[in-house]
Every structure is written in C-alpha cells, then in structure tokens.
Structure 1
Amino acid sequence: MKRHLISLLACGLGLPGSALADSSVIGLTRDGTNRGSGIVAEYHWTGALAEGDRFTAGWATSVLADNNHNGFVGFGVSAEYQISGQNFIEASFMPGYYKEGDVDLGGHMHFRSTLGIGTNITDSAALSFAFSHISNGGLNDRNPGMDMVMLRLTRRY
C-alpha cells in the first residue's frame, strides 16, 4: 500500500499543474496517542470556490496511510489566508472513508479537519505545520477520534 501511494505521489508531483490541481501537498504525520506515523498526499483546486487578494478557497482531496495500517481518503474544501507576503494560515474539512487498521475509530464514515500555519519558501513551494483531527462526528457510539500533527510541503502550479 505504502509503495503504491509513494509511486502515485511521485508521479503526481511530476505532472504539470493543468493535469492535476493548483497545488499538491505531501506530508509526514504523527499521531501521539496511538504512536502512529504516516504519510499524507493532497490535491487542492485553489480558488475554485472563492478568491480574493489574500484569501482562496477551493476543493481538495486527501489520502492518508500510517504504520498502524489505518487509512483515510477524503474530499472536501480547503482555504488559505495570507497573513503577510510570506506567511499563511490553512484550513480544510473533508468527509471521507476511514479504513480501520490497528486503531478502531468507530465505523468508516469520518470527517477530517485540519488547521495549519506555513510559509512560502519560493513562489511555487511552501512549508507548513498543521494539526489534524479525524472523527466520525458522533455517527457511531464509539468515537475516540484521532489527532495528528503534520509537516507538509506544498507545490504550487
């Protein structure tokens, strides 16, 4: 699974922007509660929903896999607000499918919310640190949720 995800991500980051999305994200994740580490890959259609001088919002999709054999695939909205010329705040919300591995979060329908802060390191690349939470939102009786921190690299097209 991880080998396929890494291959897909390598191909995706090498394609021109018009073939995929306005930005691609790759990141490392760490879940302190369950001691899991993983990788996340995302595609963002920046400005598809709203665009201003310092704010953009658009559609986004995400794939997550960790060493506890858990996985998440989601689709939702993402937003970015430029604090200054170089720094920004990012947020996203994605309903999706949770594949249970070693960590039972109660069912398969889950929601991922993410909030991060980052800096543009070039015109086409950014580095960010984000906090993410995955939960079934109370759809099932069992809902322990999963909290992660992420170090993310974004490539803008």
Structure 2
Amino acid sequence: MRRLVTTFALLPSLLFTSVAQAQELVFGFGHADFLSEQADDGAYLSADYLGTRDWRLLGFDAGLGVTAQVHETGDIFLGGGLQAQRDLGQRWFIEASVMPGAFFEGEKANDLGSTFEIRSLVGIGRELRGGRRLTLAFTHISNASIGDQNPGLNAINLRLHVPLRHRARN
C-alpha cells in the first residue's frame, strides 16, 4: 500500500506539467475487477488532467485529457485521449472518455494481454458548491483483442473534479 501512495503522490508532477492551462484535475478512488480468474482484484487510485473542452462532439463538450491509475497490486495504467462532458441540467452532468495508453502489470496474474490498452469511461456526476464536482464512473480497460489475450478490467470509482480556473455556470 505504501508503494501505491508514493506512486500516486508523484503522478501530478509527472503528468500535469501545464496545470495553468487545464480545466480541471480529477482524483478518484475505486475498485478494479480483473476479468481473469487468476488476477488479483483490488483498490486503485486515479488522477486525470482534463483540458479545456472547446469542441462540440455529438452534443458533448469535448477536449483532450490524460489519466493515470495505480492499483494496490502495483499495476499502473497511463493514457491520454478524448474526454467529454454533457450538462443534464440542475447541476447534473455525464462524462465519458476514451484514452489509449500503456498498462504495466505489477503481478504476472494481472497481465491484460499487451502493454497497449484502451481505457473507456462513462460516469454521472453532480456539481457541488464552490465549483467542485463529484462523479460515479465505470471504466473498462481492454486491448480490443489486438493482444495475445484480452481478459479486460472493469472498475467502479468515485471521482472528485477540482477546477483549476473559474467556470461560468450556464
């Protein structure tokens, strides 16, 4: 667990070098379920850097982002790609992302079939006072069957969105 906390503490400095231009940081805690019987399920921490969403895509406000997940077993996922959100009204919103990246297993039993993996996320959230927001999100990590095997990883997590600059409310 100490390795997990140490690695997580270093992630912001490694991944978020252009913080001044970001829209928000997102910190999460969740439970991962490896879809292989031999794998070790468990807790994980995540950190996302979500850039300004200045594109419209299928009714969503979209932009780029990066993510990092560190599992209690030492597994690490680092990725980057498209992230999007859509306002549902009355402080509710949905979020989604697709972020290809690299998965490094901490234990051989947690091998997902290749280093290249894609994390997809969908969540529902609520804006809190002070601009912070809270989401409940579901994620899936898979190599889309391009690897030797593709057991996949499903997870559920609670995410705290922290704005890095003031956002105007609609």
RMSD: 2.5
CA distance in 2 between counterparts of 1:97 and 1:55 reads: 26
What's the % identity of the aligned pairs? 31
SS at match of 1:6: helix
Distance 2:11 2:157 in 1: 20
**1:7-26 → structure 2 map (5 Å cutoff):** 7-9=10-12, 19-26=20-27
TM-score by length of 1: 0.87
Structure 1 gap segments, 5+ residues each: none
Instruction: Figure out how many residues of one structure are paired with residues of the other and give that number.
Output: 153
> In 2, Cα distance between the equivalents of 1:58 and 1:11?
20
Write the mapping of 1:69-84 to structure 2, written as runs, cut at 5 A: 69-84=74-89
User: How do 1:136-155 and structure 2 match up within 5 A?
Assistant: 136-155=143-162
- Report the residue type matching 1:126 in the other structure: R
1:36/1:18 CA distance change after superposition, 3 Å? closer
Secondary structure in 2 matching 1:22: strand
Q: 1:8 to 1:144 in 2, by over 3 A?
A: closer
Letter in structure 2 aligned against 1:5: F
Runs of 4+ off more than 2 Å: 7-13, 32-35, 48-51
Segments of 5+ residues of structure 2 without an aligned counterpart are 35-39, 166-170
Partner letter of residue 86 of structure 1?
Answer: R
Distance 1:135 1:80 in 2: 22
* 1:73-116 Cα distance to aligned partner (Å, 9 max, x none): 00100000011130001000000010111211011000000000
TM-score (norm. length: structure 2):
0.80
Distance apart, 1:117 and its partner CA: 0.2
Question: How far apart in 1 are the matches of 2:129 and 2:21?
Answer: 20
